A and B are shown apart, each in its own frame.
Chain A
């Protein structure tokens, strides 16, 4: 949204969120170290560090991957999405400490380069039980490094949202690598079933959330609008749309958000220019449509961001007929001003007060 790149917009909400992340990490590390010292007092500092950071990173990764589908299933989770990148970078830091110390402890004591040792010390690629699982973790860490390094809006703008989003979808590949890293690595030597159950529960939760959210989106996309008139489709009743909010309709492959504000309906493309966020799930703030993901704003009548910002989205024609909303899915060029549809107020009949109707 900014015309110049700033390091981070440290607003109050982000500060609170970051303190919560830091506090949780400190709490987790303290509890994990404390329990390990009680139940396994012979554990070395390196082992403790490797295990603490690995489990914390895995937990954070599950939280991060849950946020997307949770927001699609319930809007109350949107504040988490707004701050997700900080959580991602924190997770990468934990994973990097785990990876770094693992390479140090398991591969730096010989006379072979530790990174070479990582790949040549075990070549049982055909065995599941003896599979070189550390290489899987290494590649996952490389993906996390790439994602953390390109997490700033500078890269989003220069790579374009489409490329950036595609790149960041590699987090799913990293997740697969991590699960396999744990399953063919630690789990092969770990006798406590709790670890296996936790990982299985985490994966099952993620899969369920993503499939449920995906199914919901498909249902939205497959809605049929039968009534048609001069290129307009009947989509809903005027009363179905709340004031300063929108309803989203998918007609002819793309989603359109119809906002109601100050007695008028306006239709804009539902895809935010920042990270392709769902504009229609946002609300009108200070007269501007505000994307729920990262707060990018657009004027409802022309789809332009308020000056000095330069983002624009397409606009559409909308009209009201007999209390129903009719929408034309043919887009106007981005930033084209449209009059919208004025909601005519129903006349209020004021009856004179007489002794008979008291």
Chain B
């Protein structure tokens, strides 16, 4: 059981590190209308839905802090937003029909909108910088669409990991 948890943790850690590196080194160059694909968010949502709120929150913190660390943003900014999203996704644990690729996509779209809104609100409240809301809204929607597009892949990956470590 312990070996399964450690293995699962290492697997998710490795995937988070790889995703955060890919995002900070490569995906930031592929802006679409100001939006950048965030592969960590679909993973956090998927973990939350598969494993519940606590695991979702913890994986959200880990992924968010890693993103903050590698992306150069204030530490805790994405950590907080992803933790909230991971926790919230856990409230829908096993309630989304995962065989349908549309539902994970819609869930991740909604999660992206919520997560990015939280980030902007924290930026405003903590006075970390200005937020041009009229420009931000379409950017968030595009990012939601991008993240939603990769959601089925993220869900499949998380399910594969879960199934592999469940067997042991």
Do A and B bind?
Answer: no
B→A interface (CB under 8 Å): none
